[in-house]
A and B are shown apart, each in its own frame.
Chain A
């Protein structure tokens, strides 16, 4: 149990990084809820929230405060522990993904070189995939513990939807891994910095990944688990107060994280296009990188919202049809074609 001095410094450094990353993603998710309402309003020729603070910027705080002060209702016949575990798991799995994402290059700080990534594990992509596949537990446990038919239906929909789309997502990711030859997200970004973005190699793979990301985040047009006009509220029908807030919030964190993942996998991560980072001083380069990543993420989040307010919800059989009979064969074909090209041109 001896922690060396250097280890202690590393632990503190990582702890600070974790706190920053988690609080940043919480704040961004908070403002994503605000952005969602604003974008919806703008796309529908309305004004959106503009009362709380200048331009309505304090609206997410007001929303959160309202949720905290709402009455807490736990149904009588539900399993109380599981009822509380549901939203907690949803929130936790939503935030766990951020651990392997490279937010930027190294930053020089009091003579220490700090990598802007919590941990660069050699299985980064698989870690993301694993955590995403666990995300469904929050919804399933919560929906079952509610002891409500509609909640259960929502939970079952969520489970089958996420499992179905995970397959296509995984296969499209395999094609990408065949091109990059690494599982570490950091190395992928460095590769893309040196050559070109992966979207050029894998346009079809990106399309499949994007569609699956929509389904994994339970976003419209795949928001069947919470389809309000047929399942009341889906899996969170029985939830109130901040537990409901956690579920809603987890969705926005998921959206943010999947935007970051897509930007990192296919759009060069923190790579600013047409700028040679090696010429800049390390700190400036890191800041430019973070700004580039955030810019890409904002574009993706806008895409998520734009699609939400354009495309109506799928029917459940259409969802399954798309997942199993179109996306999986397409992803398999993409994998085969990628393998063929790599084999033919010898990479």
Chain B
């Protein structure tokens, strides 16, 4: 067992554990904070796979911006036991069924995986900014440009909404 495996196991435990904590914790603010811990653990995994760019972008975008907005909204809502809506059994049953279906799909996908091919640690440069950029601008240039047009329109939309006095 070398140090990489150890770090991998620790990060995985952290990720899964805090994901469970996120679902089970009563307070929504705590849920959001646990989700942030999950993002950090996943960023750790990216770094293990030598994908520093993806790791840091994951932190900037998800932990740094999106979760701040989540926290923002959750803090503004008056969430406590009195105002929590009571869900009826039918809804809960539907939830269990759909969740179970998702679990089955994931399980079947895991079963199909060829276990001979392991994740490459510390090698490969797919997640480095240089190779990622090259890939995006050569092999995947059309989807990349379309999505960037989408983002640009979203940004301009935000500016337009801001301009409406």
Note all chain B residues with C-beta closer than 8 A to A136.
64, 68
A219 to B: closest C-beta gap in Å: 20
Q: Look across to chain A and name the residue whose beta carbon is closest to the beta carbon of B60.
A: A130
Asked if B76 is an interface residue, CB under 8 A from chain A, the answer is: yes
Contact: B29 with A82, CB < 8 Å?
Answer: yes
Q: Contacts A141-B33, A144-B75, A156-B75: A1 and B6 contacting too (C-beta < 8 A)? A: yes
Give which listed residue, B6, B27, B129, contacts A122 with CB less than 8 A: B129
Contact: B53 with A123, CB < 8 Å?
Answer: yes
Give per-residue flags for B53-82: 1 if the beta carbon is below 8 A from chain A beta carbons, else 0. 100110110011100110110011000000
- Interchain CA distance A127-B29 in the complex, whole Å: 26
Contact: B72 with A134, CB < 8 Å?
Answer: no
A186 to B: closest C-beta gap in Å: 15
Note all chain A residues with C-beta closer than 8 A to B56.
123, 126-127, 129-130
Contact: B72 with A159, CB < 8 Å?
Answer: yes
Contact: A163 with B69, CB < 8 Å?
Answer: yes
- Interchain CA distance A137-B33 in the complex, whole Å: 9
- Interchain CA distance A144-B36 in the complex, whole Å: 16
Which among B1, B27, B59, B69 has the highest number of chain A CB atoms within 10 Å?
B59
Asked if A160 is an interface residue, CB under 8 A from chain B, the answer is: yes
Give per-residue flags for B141-164: 1 if the beta carbon is below 8 A from chain A beta carbons, else 0. 000000000000001001100110
Note all chain A residues with C-beta closer than 8 A to B159.
324-325, 328-329
A261 to B: closest C-beta gap in Å: 15
Note all chain B residues with C-beta closer than 8 A to A127.
56
User: What's the dominant secondary structure at chain A's contact region?
Assistant: helix
- Interchain CA distance A183-B56 in the complex, whole Å: 12
Note all chain B residues with C-beta closer than 8 A to A137.
36, 68, 71
List residues of A (110-127) whose CB comes within 8 Å of B's CBs: 121-123, 126-127
Asked if B31 is an interface residue, CB under 8 A from chain A, the answer is: no
Contact: B60 with A156, CB < 8 Å?
Answer: no
Contact: B2 with A1, CB < 8 Å?
Answer: yes
Q: Look across to chain A and name the residue whose beta carbon is closest to the beta carbon of B55.
A: A123
Q: Contacts A137-B36, A166-B65: A1 and B75 contacting too (C-beta < 8 A)? A: no
Give which listed residue, A130, A166, A183, A324, contacts B129 with CB less than 8 A: A183
List residues of A (150-167) whose CB comes within 8 Å of B's CBs: 152, 155-156, 159-160, 162-163, 166
B130 to A: closest C-beta gap in Å: 9
Note all chain A residues with C-beta closer than 8 A to B52.
121-123
Contact: A152 with B75, CB < 8 Å?
Answer: yes
Contact: B3 with A1, CB < 8 Å?
Answer: yes
Asked if B20 is an interface residue, CB under 8 A from chain A, the answer is: no
Q: Look across to chain B and name the residue whose beta carbon is closest to the beta carbon of A156.
A: B72
Q: Look across to chain B and name the residue whose beta carbon is closest to the beta carbon of A122.
A: B52
Note all chain B residues with C-beta closer than 8 A to A329.
159
